Amino acid sequence: MRAGIVRTACFVIFAFLMACEIAVSSVSASAVEETDAHRIITMTGEATVNAMPDQALVNAGAVTQEKTAAAAVAANAEIMSAAVAAVRQLGVPEQAISTNGFDLEPQYPPEDPKNPQPRTIIGYQVTNSVNVRLSNVSRAGAVLDALIDTGVNQSAGVSFSIKNPQPLLDQARALAAKDALKRAQIYTGAIGAVLGPVRSIHEGYSEPYSSRENGIEQVVVTAERRATPVEPGEQSVSANVTIVWALK
């Protein structure tokens, strides 16, 4: 009977030791998995694509001042009507011409600190401008000259843009992702690490990926923001992306 008791006790002790070993192995595996899950590298890539503009916006305005609101409006309308007519004579379609920022304001004499009485209106000022959108950028100079010749006296200028920048933006995005990958490969290669699977992709600049616990190994590298040079006559479309990789 004593032998049976001894065998039973040995079996219980053996089972207990096996359970402890399994538990320790499980905890160790979880710890390794958790640590590996936070070994990461965060990299920002950026790219710029340049292209010639394919549309122009010509803007010109006129300011008139008269003693009455009606006279100020009439004087301004005369200038702007002549300006629009001159542009249409150049073959610009009506739908490409739009009024921008009509404004009527009363005018007052300068303030006199010695006379605190309310000031009386001495006249009215009308400000009006016109936008001309051109699909042929080479015609911008001729349109601007025509507007100035009609008597516009404020805010004459030309701006250029790209009508459909989406294909260029997509191209810049792809180049930015390749830039981030190249940088990540350079840094990991220099320290003897290997890139693992992608953890996250964020368009734009992002804060470094943060781990939930202290003491977890991380490699964090971010690109310095820099101004993009723009060549005269070209428009720039830029993109940047932040990608997080696991490290093997």
**Predicted TM-score (pTM) of this structure:** 0.62
pLDDT higher than 50, residue 209 = no
Of the listed ranges 97-111, 178-192, 214-228, the least confidently predicted one is 214-228
Q: At 132, phi and psi to the nearest 5?
A: -125, 115
Please say whether the beta carbons of 151 and 75 come within 8 A.
no
Of the listed ranges 3-12, 156-165, 234-243, the least confidently predicted one is 3-12
For the stretch 146-182, pLDDT in tens is 998 898 988 788 889 999 999 999 999 999 999 999 9
Residue 219: band (very low, low, confident or very high) from pLDDT cuts 50, 70, 90: very low
Q: At 133, phi and psi to the nearest 5?
A: -100, 125
The CATH number of 33-51+165-247, from 3.40.50.620, 2.60.40.1120, 3.30.470.10, 3.30.110.170, is 3.30.110.170
Nearest alpha-carbon partner for 152 in 99, 105, 93: 99
Of the listed ranges 9-23, 67-81, 134-148, the least confidently predicted one is 9-23
pLDDT of residue 48: 93
Q: How far apart are CA 211 and CA 65, in angstroms?
A: 66
Transcribe 63-119 into DSSP letters. EEEESSHHHHHHHHHHHHHHHHHHHHHTT--GGGEEEEEEEEEEE-PPP-TT--SPP
Mean pLDDT of 185-214: 77
Mean pLDDT of 187-194: 93
The CATH number of 55-161, from 3.30.70.20, 3.30.70.2970, 3.60.10.10, 3.40.630.10, is 3.30.70.2970
Q: How far apart are CA 130 and CA 107, in angstroms?
A: 23
